[in-house]
Structure 1
Amino acid sequence: MVSLRPSENDPLIPRGSPPLTNNHEVPKSADLRRPASGPLEISRSTRYGILAGIWIANFLSTLNQTLVPTMLPSISSEFNQSNQASWLGTSYLLATCTFTPLYGRLCNVLGRKGAHQTALTFTGLGILLCGFSRNMETLILARFLSGIGGGGLLTTSSIVVSDMYSMRSRGLTQSIASIFGGMGLGFGGPFGGIITDWLGWRWAFLLQLPLFFISFGLTSYNLCYVTPGKGKSAKEVLKRIDYGGSFSLLLTVGSILLFLSARYNEGLPWSNTMVIVSLVTASISCVAFFIMELFVAREPVLAPFLLKQKIPVLVGMSNFLVASCNFSIIYFFPMWFQVVLLTNASTAGLHLVPNSVGLSLGSVFAGYMMHKTGKYKMINAVFGCLPFISTVMIASLREDSGPYLSWLCIAPLGFGNAVVLQTMLIALLVRLPESQMAVGTGFGQLFRGIGQVGGVAISSALFQAKLDTELRRRIHRPDAEELILKIRQSARLVNTLPLDLRKKAQESYAVSINAVFVFAACCTMLAYLVRVPIPDKDLDSQPKQQDAAPAEESGPSSLAPSINDPFIDSPDEAVENEDDDGQHILPGAVPHRRLSAFESVDSVMDLESDLVGESARKTGAHSSPRKNRTTKIDK
């Protein structure tokens, strides 16, 4: 007969009971009546419901990145501000690259569900305002608002997938997620063009709203798993957000965009006040950003410790150049057919479909190969050259180019860049412990976001400067100055010009767009050269996350890898375990500054607020340590 009487061998705190807090009190927010499931313990149907919700949101986010290019002639002609049309793309991407890093911390404060639905709300509200905008300024502001949430959707979905899958399965899962992203990038142009021709450009925004409600409903019902770690109040976590770094980054990128727009899109002279002020502001805020990140911010957005390692820096540079190439092509490829060949918006947008197909196939291919072989370098080296081949073919387009070249030249770009982005993400994450996955993800996305903004802004400035030069070289008449300005402000005006002037305008547009394609080719070639030194690494070698231990038992702080850390390929890449003053951290000591805004002091994700996210846990009663990460893709 088994005795139920406790003995001296029984633990003081029974297994499964909530741990005591620092004040030795059970948190009031702990819900002991509701059984909690970790990300590895949820059912298959729940997991698929979560993936469906976040992947629909991914589709909407990427769709809005490429929705505008085929709509630009219609929008700019309605508002008669074609030279400001590039802001419709750059405002969205500016908000995306600036606010994306903050969502790693919001995942801690609001929970995975709360952060994801916050991003979804911003995006949906911005889309709604876009559909009802009555002037260019309001439309640009609405695009910025939707961009605040757009980047967050990609970040939160990446974190959720990292919660639910192992490193090897994660590559395949992320590749499936990239299908939805690829569909959004590829079908944004055709969708915008077709809807613009049929119903008007406003409906291209408004017709997206039902999908927002579907995504919101799926995540509300399914995204309720809990995450392990110590509980932190929302107030404590919000204090650690790098507001100074985020604001200085926004001011830096925004000022650069304003400078490029004033100097090249508007054609203002160097002595103009707007040009001088924007350039000076960009320089000062850029210096302020690096000072904040390197010396001031408690949890910097940039993750400076990764800048000391070769592989993250190379991956960041590759992401920047690949994104610059992608968005230079996506924003100007449809314009070639609309202005040079005088096709309608629907036909111009459909020319982006091969890019979408290539993105989807490349993502699945890269994910499958990495899942099958556990390697990534060979497929990157072989298929990473396809974007350069594609951009060279695109740059060779002429008015008499055959249908095969004009329709298929963009397909290798999508396939090759999908392979590159998938393999580079895994190449970065496989060298980090699981406690730093969000750090690595945010680091790569930050460079990718800046590259997207830079690609649109630089290519637009290059295009406008070249177009102005070409038009002035060809048009010589008394009203040439006024006519050139009108042609630059309204692309649709080209089709209404007299035959002789129309031919000159088409030639000017063709040369200017071709200059953008050459710029994209240079970016993708440089990106390939940057990736060559990145070594291969077995994906099965990723060590597992260790259970969080008390400070007095955990030894030196685990915030920075040591020279003997198995995540580091060589001692040169190791980050010494020192504080800001270069002093070694004693066992149990807490460093003054942490890796980035994505990293918690406990080397695990902080628990979220139980008031909003519903995916938080203040107790360890149902904790699911991530020490058995062998979940299959179809679990």
Structure 2
Amino acid sequence: MVENSSALASETQPLLRTEHVVPRAHHLIGPLDISRPTRYGILAGIWLGTFLSALNQTLVPTMLPSISSDFNKAHQASWLGTSYLLATCTFTPLYGRLCNAMGRKRANQTALLFAGLGVLLCGLSRNMEMLILARFFSGIGGGGLFTTSSIIVSDMYSMRSRGLTQGIASIFSGLGLGLGGPFGGVITDWLGWRWAFLLQMPIFCLSYLLTSWNLNYITEGTGKSSKEILKRVDYLGSGCLMLSVGATLIFLSVRYNEGLPWLHPAVVVSFVVAIIFSFAFLWVEFCIAVEPVLAPTLLKQKIPILTGISNFLVATCNFAIMYFYPMWFQTVNLTSASTAGLHILPNSLSMSFGSVFAGWMMHKTGTYKRINLIFGIFPFIGAVGIYLLQEDSGWLQSWFSIVPLGFGNAVVLQTMLIALLAHIPDSSMAVGTGFGQLFRGVGQVGGVAISSALFQTQLKTELEKRIHGPDANQVIDKIRHSSRLISSLPTDLRRNAQDSYAASLKSVFLFAAVSTLLAYIVRLPIPDKDLEHSPKRGRLQPDPSSGSSSPTESLEEESTRR
């Protein structure tokens, strides 16, 4: 009888157990099936990385006077921002492909290594050229940290919960953006500007260790040949994009920052090269690239195009304000670098609050359109408030006019990311994330480069109107190249310099206001869509022997994950 029972049992069981076919199956855990401590370890690691990336975006502006004075090359100072953003703009879209080719862990750590190396070289730089190159290396990784972080969060959470989780992630990036200016100013006044870079290295190491320990889940397609996928990465398109944007930056710099005439060889060559490689980039993307960085399939769709244009204009406004708002207080109100940097902090705190608010609202309502319509106009209100600043403006306007800008832009960026991902296939999630980041990166470059060209052109005009005499040109050049000289100028000359900087900065703030208003108009046709409240299908399924169950729930998703 026992033998019959055994035989019956054996006949009802599969001849080959799963664990015998794949001996290590219990290690192949998907992103929806990892334990809660592991999930939080992953989030801590990637969010430390995004914090550092955001910190380095706003770290430099308050240090520019000190760096420019050390190297005596203030006319090249804008390249410290644009070189970082050029690298971010060019390499960020590649990380969507690299996440599929290398896996999430290696792609994230590649970005982290580039960012860390760049920051270390910044602290060790001995001249302006080396510092600009180091900022470029840092930007290669900085943009990748944002992209890989978004992709990893998208792996682990449903569409509806993703907005809330990305909102919490924005607290870290918001803190980075907010603390960059004050941190750079305080450390510059206390220890010197180099230490503002070097003190970041332990945090880079901690981020690397956390992802090494925890970021080990498997996603669909991981088993494909990395070598074959890497061959399909659009290196040619990325190179054309970098040369196109880089040549445009050089043109704006030599024509407007340095004031060279239109027929000067540097102006003509950079302008022609920019046009040639712009068309070359489009040709490569539409005709040659196997997996183009620009994703022409998304360019044929209404929603990706509108969200991309919105991202571009929002980023243009954000970076025009962040790079020049502290300068108002240093050059017009004559405050210290640390105090000027602190004026960015309300913006970043409001961005963090706005991101969490937008994520919470999308999580609760399952929609994003109404939130965008109501709060998307806030950035324009904030930019107008900044434009109306005066030297004798009270503390309320000086410190809090920037709050609507930060809150509104955070809501916009959160809702536009979800709108983009909600209207593309699941299989295009990584590429779509890179697509949105590409437009945002170009906007960041444009915000700094265009506003810098506008500022320098206007500043030269304003100074020439107010300063006269036999040595006027020499005095004007000194004031343009080193804003720290303003406080030490004779009273009459100092007054003229302050008024010139005020008028020039107002032109930048007006440019930012127009950009954000256009962004609001562009977003109006984007339709609403109900957000699903369960994880995406098609991800790697857990092995039954792994025993993973309830610990995999997300922050507010325990009862709805399956």
Task: Give the TM-score taking structure 2 as reference length.
Answer: 0.94
In 2, Cα distance between equivalents of 1:533 and 1:336: 36
Candidates 231, 234, 247, aligned match of 2:223: 231
Query: Which residue among 367, 380, 387 is the counterpart of 1:375?
Result: 367
- The one of 195, 211, 215 equivalent to 1:219 is 211
**1:633 paired to 2:551:** no
**Unmatched 5+ stretches in structure 1:** 19-29, 548-616
Q: 1:632 offset after TM fit, Å?
A: 3.3
User: 1:588 maps to what in 2?
Assistant: none
C-alpha contact 2:233 2:291 (8 A) present in aligned 1: yes
2:26 and 2:543 in contact (8 A); partners too? no
Give the counterpart of 1:141 among 119, 133, 143.
133
The aligned residue for residue 537 of structure 1 is: 529
Q: 1:550 is matched with which residue? A: none
Please name the residue that 2:150 is paired with. Answer: 158
Alignment check: 8 A CA contact 2:93 2:431 kept: no
2:321 is aligned to 329
C-alpha displacement of 1:110? 2.5
Contact 1:242/1:300, CA 8 A, preserved across alignment: yes
Matches within 5 A, 1:154-303: 154-229=146-221, 231-303=223-295
Task: Say if 2:158 and 2:533, in contact at 8 Å, map to a contact too.
Answer: no
- Cα–Cα, structure 1 residues 230 and 408, in superposed 2: closer, same or farther, change >3 Å? closer
**C-alpha deviation, 1:238, in angstroms:** 1.4
- The answer as to 2:495 corresponding to 1:498 is no
Structure 2 CA distance for aligned equivalents of residues 202 and 230 of structure 1: 41
d(CA) in 1 for partners of 2:121, 2:23:
39
How many residues in Structure 1 have an aligned counterpart in Structure 2? Answer: 549
Separation (CA, whole Å) in 1 of partners of 2:510 and 2:545: 54
Q: Which residue of 1 aligns with 2:422?
A: 430
- CA distance in 2 between counterparts of 1:114 and 1:525 reads 39
Answering whether residue 20 of structure 2 is matched by residue 3 of structure 1, we say: no
> Does 1:339 pair with 2:331?
yes
2: CA distance, partners of 1:217 / 1:450:
31
Change (3 A) 1:495 1:230: closer
User: For residue 81 of structure 2, what is the aligned residue in structure 1?
Assistant: 89
1:101 aligns with 2:101: no
1:499 maps to a residue whose letter is T
C-alpha displacement of 1:433: 2.1
**Which whole-Å CA distance do the structure 2 matches of 1:115 and 1:248 have between them?**
22
In structure 1, the partner of 2:41 is 49
> Is the CA contact 1:228–1:620 (under 8 Å) kept in the aligned structure 2?
no
Instruction: Say if 2:83 and 2:133, in contact at 8 Å, map to a contact too.
Output: yes
1:320 maps to what in 2? 312
Task: Confirm or deny: 8 A CA contact 1:165 1:633 kept in the other structure.
Answer: no
Kindly provide the CA deviation profile for residues 185-232 of structure 1, in whole angstroms up to 9, marking residues without a partner as x.
111111111111111111111111111111111111111111223622
For 1:513 and 1:81, the matched residues in 2 are separated by 20
Distance in 1 separating the partners of 2:268 and 2:307: 33
- Asked if 2 retains the 8 angstrom alpha-carbon contact of 1:246 and 1:301, the reply is yes
- Name 1:611's counterpart in structure 2: none
Output the CA distance in 1 between the equivalents of 2:536 and 2:123.
47
Distance apart, 1:111 and its partner CA:
1.9
Report the Cα distance in structure 2 between the residues aligned to 1:181 and 1:541, rounded to whole angstroms.
26
Partner residue in 2 for 1:570: none
Letter of the structure 2 residue corresponding to residue 633 of structure 1: L
How far does residue 248 in structure 1 lie from its aligned partner after superposition? 0.2
Distance 1:256 1:91 in 2: 12
CA contact (8 A) 1:49 1:222 kept: yes
* Residue among 421, 444, 450 paired with 2:436: 444
The whole-number CA distance in structure 2 between the counterparts of 1:162 and 1:16 is 29
The alignment status of 1:75 with 2:67, answered yes or no, reads: yes
Counterpart of 2:31 in structure 1 is 39
- SS of 1:540's equivalent in the other structure is coil
Shift of the 303–245 alpha-carbon distance from structure 1 to 2, 3 Å rule, reads same
1:293-324 CA-to-partner distances (Å, cap 9, x unmatched) read 01110000001111111111110000000000
Residue-by-residue CA offset, 1:456-476 (whole Å, 9 max, x unaligned): 000000000000111111111
Write the distance in 2 (CA, Å) between the matches of 1:143 and 1:122.
10
Moved more, 248-257 or 105-114: 105-114
Q: Is the 8 A contact 1:53 1:219 kept in 2?
A: yes
Q: Percent identity?
A: 68
The answer to whether the 8 Å contact 1:119/1:149 transfers is yes
Shift of 1:12: 8.4
Match of 1:599 in 2: none
- Where 1:224 maps in the other structure, the secondary structure is coil
CA apart distance, 1:36: 2.4
User: Structure 1 34/536 Cα, relative in aligned 2: closer, same or farther at 3 Å?
Assistant: closer
- Could you tell me which amino acid in structure 1 is paired with residue 354 of structure 2? G
RMSD of aligned alpha carbons: 2.2
Residue 13 of structure 1: how far off its partner (Å): 6.8
Query: Does the aligned pair in 2 maintain the 1:161–1:173 contact within 8 Å?
Result: yes
Give the whole-Å Cα distance in 2 for the aligned partners of 1:75 and 1:284: 34
Cα separation, partners in 2 of 1:31 and 1:3, compared to 1, 3 Å:
closer
Letter in 2 for 1:404: L
1:398 is paired with a residue whose SS is coil
Task: Give 3-state SS (helix, strand or coil) of 1:500's partner.
Answer: helix
2: CA distance, partners of 1:4 / 1:200: 79
Structure 1 or 2: more helix by fraction:
2
Unaligned 5+ runs, structure 2? none
Q: Secondary structure at the match of 1:3?
A: helix
- Measure how far apart 1:135 and its partner are: 0.7
1:2 to partner: Cα distance: 4.1
The one-letter code sitting in structure 1 at the alignment partner of 2:477 is L
Distance 2:225 2:190 in 1: 51
1:294–1:304 CA contact under 8 A, matched in 2: yes
Query: SS of 2:469's equivalent?
Result: coil
Shift of 1:103: 1.4
Give the conservation status (yes or no) of the 8 Å contact 2:30–2:542.
no
Q: Distance in 2 between matches of 1:37 and 1:231?
A: 13
Question: Where do 1:521-532 residues align within 5 Å?
Answer: 521-532=513-524
Q: 1:13 to 1:289 in 2, by over 3 A?
A: farther
The 3-state SS of whatever aligns with 2:359 is helix
Cα shift readout 1:450-504 (whole Å, capped 9, x = no counterpart): 0000000000000000001111111111011111111111111111111111111
**1:17, 1:621 within 8 Å by CA — same for their partners in 2?**
no
Partner letter of residue 505 of structure 2? Answer: I
Q: Which amino acid aligns with 1:276?
A: V
- For the Cα contact (< 8 Å) 2:79–2:132, is it kept in 1? yes
Partner of 1:306: 298
